[in-house]
Structure 1
Amino acid sequence: MSAALLVARVGSADDLLALARAARELGFATLDAHAPHTVEGLGEALALPPSPVRSLMLVGGLGAAAAIFAYQYWTSVHGYPINSGGRPLNSWPAFLFATFETGVLGAALAGFTGFLWSCGLPRPSHPFFEAAAARAVTDDGYALTLDPRDPRARIDALDILRTRPEILSVEVIG
């Protein structure tokens, strides 16, 4: 059985930032913010780790480029060698166009896949969607989801959150 999620609804983006900073200072390890638009500074307030998508794109692009280059080299030198105009069989400038295009394609596919993986998608259901605040977030509301891992924090979290002036409502899900 998973721990209960606490969903705190606030009225503005500034309140969401203030609540995220306060919750991080109070020791909530797992935080998630929900807003209808991008809120500047929210990633720093939640202390999110850096995204792995850039490194995945680099590895995917370089891997795809190396694979297509090796395939072209093997095809030209070993698989089906044709002496065309006295040029060497491993004439690498002829391989660059396909190498570049395949590298870009590999990076794009790795980035898209890495983005979905890092977001936890596809996920058909999440406990947050059971909250009344979830319906407001899609329009004009802001919410912060807290997942207290410490049993003592779970008991005190509602009292702590209810004392914050910017919170409109607090729900317990799960």
Structure 2
Amino acid sequence: MAVVKSVKIDGESIHVFKSAVYIFEASSGFTLELDLIVSEVVVKKYKKEDNLIIEIEFEEGHLIHSIMHVKALAGGLPQLNLFCELDHPDDYYYLDLVNENDSWFPNLEEGITLEEIRKVEMPNEDISLKLRLPIDQIEWLKTQKKAHLNELVKEFIYDYWKKNHT
């Protein structure tokens, strides 16, 4: 199997934890398929796009530039499936050919955890909290900048978590 060295989406390099690239042969024709384990941040950024400009660089030196469709795959780890139709699959002789009747499909989730992915790129989510606090604390909170409060709460939660869950 060809080993992916790097992937760029719309000119931006992304961190790829695991990947599989192959030609898929179905009765309707051939498609170039790129399955990726990426961060949750990358999935969130690209999952709603219809088409992306993809650059795949392989360790042995081949380079593929293509406009590909994107699908976010359901499962335990954040995954993208990028694909495009091929007229001339022989041009990609260095890629594995997978037939729709084959039982082999790459299991990318094996050997990697969500915790390892989040060590590289931790997603941030917005949350709203309703608190009942003394008025002097509320007045102080209102004078603080959002970025400062985010850091303060994040530090408090990590410190609390370490003390109570280790």
With the length of structure 1 as denominator, give the TM-score of the two structures: 0.22
Which structure shows the bigger proportion of residues in strand conformation? 2
Report which of the two structures shows the higher radius of gyration computed on alpha carbons: 1
Higher share in helix:
1
TM-score by length of 2: 0.22
